[in-house]
Amino acid sequence: MNYLSKIKNKFFSDKIPEEIIVQEDESIQIATQRQLIWRRFKRHRLGFASSIVVILFYVVVLFADFLATSVPVHYGAARGFMPPQPIKFFQEGDFLSVCHVIGERNLESFRMEHTADCNNREPLQLFGKGYEYKLWGLFKTDRHLFAMKNPDANVDEWIHLMGTDKQGRDVFSRVMHGTRVSLTIGIIGVGLSIVFGIFIGSISGYYGGLIDSLLQRFIEIIRSVPTIPLYMGFSAAFPADWTINQVYFMITVIISLFAWTDLARVIRGRFLSLRDEDFVVAARLNGASTMRIVFVHMLPSFYSHIIAQASLALPLMIVTETSLSYLGLGLRPPAISYGVLLKDAQNVQAVAHSPWLFLPAIFVIVVILALNFMGDGIRDAADPYQEV
């Protein structure tokens, strides 16, 4: 090996070499995991676009009353089954106006027939005055996104952007309120199942052994209970004199009682794999307490997974609520939710003659897809060892 001795002097140095960092982008090197996840998520086009849709939906949740034109429970038999109104822009000095829709009973079929008369229009005003409501239960106001210019006109009579239902209630306003109810049930339900899931999942995963086995069997038992009959039982057990709010709260709790098991399993799995991860062992050998290990080292390592899992659980919650209400087991009128709204579109006749009653379904589909894509996007972005 004489070449070795020859070249040895060239290489040999007592000094530890200064390392060369080739990756020049300083911002990436000092970026936290959260920033990296955000960077990757922005690059996930479908997920990012879907998250904008989801945000829009939650804006609706926050401002349902502001967006609604009329009180969603105001009815009038005379204006039942009105189709969506044509909307006109920049007509005769009015920025926005809606055409009158005139109903006439067909004397042969005895059915109301509606025609839009765009020569008679009702001018609209943005941020005008409408019915009075309390924003977030705090501020009394009567401002709405769309309101009548004419302060004396009855909104219930004139603005039906998405038509009316059988009782003449404004579908658009009802969808806005339904969105609020359905999406809050989703988010509160997910919140509750995250709490249950993290609690049970961490105990199961951190301690392992017998506790883990028992908790896992418990989860399996819960998962094996057929849900629909159980919901029926619960629903029947609700006292008849409960207010809408009480029923609403109980439905949320019941849904999350069954939904937490998935999350608990995911968290348990992450705990089990992280427990033996070297950096956790290192912290333990340096005398870190159990609390510090769980809250400083373990939980932060998968909160992005929890967020991803939660955003994938959300649509499931919404669908569950919708299905339950549709079957009459969940919320019941006068409460409004996607399920309640779709119940109106139950019979074929309604769909055939007044297809706009089916519009809430489109909202359900859009929000569910958007939540799913967003969840996928977060999950993909959250993989900590992916290339930057």
Q: Which residues bind another protein (CB under 8 A)?
A: 1, 3-4, 7-8, 10-14, 16-24, 28-33, 36, 43, 209-210, 213-214, 217, 277-279, 281-288, 292, 297, 300-301, 384-385, 387-388
Nearer to another protein, 79 or 270 (CB): 270
Nearer to another protein, 20 or 240 (CB): 20
Nearer to another protein, 149 or 292 (CB): 292
Q: Rounded to the nearest whole angstrom, what is the least distance from the CB of residue 12 to another protein in the complex?
A: 5
Nearer to another protein, 134 or 217 (CB): 217
Nearer to another protein, 24 or 241 (CB): 24
Q: Rounded to the nearest whole angstrom, what is the least distance from the CB of residue 283 to another protein in the complex?
A: 7
Structure token digits, residue 244: 């809408």
Q: Rounded to the nearest whole angstrom, what is the least distance from the CB of residue 226 to another protein in the complex?
A: 24
Nearer to another protein, 138 or 210 (CB): 210
Looking only at the bridges linking them, the beta strands covering 94-106 and 111-135 are: antiparallel
Q: Rounded to the nearest whole angstrom, what is the least distance from the CB of residue 19 to another protein in the complex?
A: 6
Structure token digits, residue 377: 């996007």
Q: Rounded to the nearest whole angstrom, what is the least distance from the CB of residue 381 to another protein in the complex?
A: 13
Q: Rounded to the nearest whole angstrom, what is the least distance from the CB of residue 7 to another protein in the complex?
A: 5
Nearer to another protein, 196 or 218 (CB): 218
Residues forming a β-bridge with 112:
105
Nearer to another protein, 125 or 301 (CB): 301
3-state secondary structure the chain: CHHHHHHHHHHCCCCCCCCCCCCCCHHHHCCCHHHHHHHHHHHCHHHHHHHHHHHHHHHHHHCHHHHCCCCCCCCCHHHCCCCCCCEEEEECCEEEEEEEEEEEEECCCCEEEEEEEEEEEEEEEEEEEEEEEEECCCEEEEEEEEEECCCCCCHHHHCCCCCECCCCCEHHHHHHHHHHHHHHHHHHHHHHHHHHHHHHHHHHHHHCHHHHHHHHHHHHHHHHCCHHHHHHHHHHHCCCCCCHHHHHHHHHHHHHHHHHHHHHHHHHHHHHHHHCCHHHHHHHHCCCCHHHHHHHHHHHHHHHHHHHHHHHHHHHHHHHHHHHHHCCCCCCCCCCCHHHHHHHCCCHHHHHHCHHHHHHHHHHHHHHHHHHHHHHHHHHHCCCCCCC
Nearer to another protein, 13 or 243 (CB): 13
Q: Rounded to the nearest whole angstrom, what is the least distance from the CB of residue 282 to another protein in the complex?
A: 6
CA gap 251, 150 in Å, rounded: 41
Looking only at the bridges linking them, the beta strands covering 87-91 and 139-148 are: unpaired
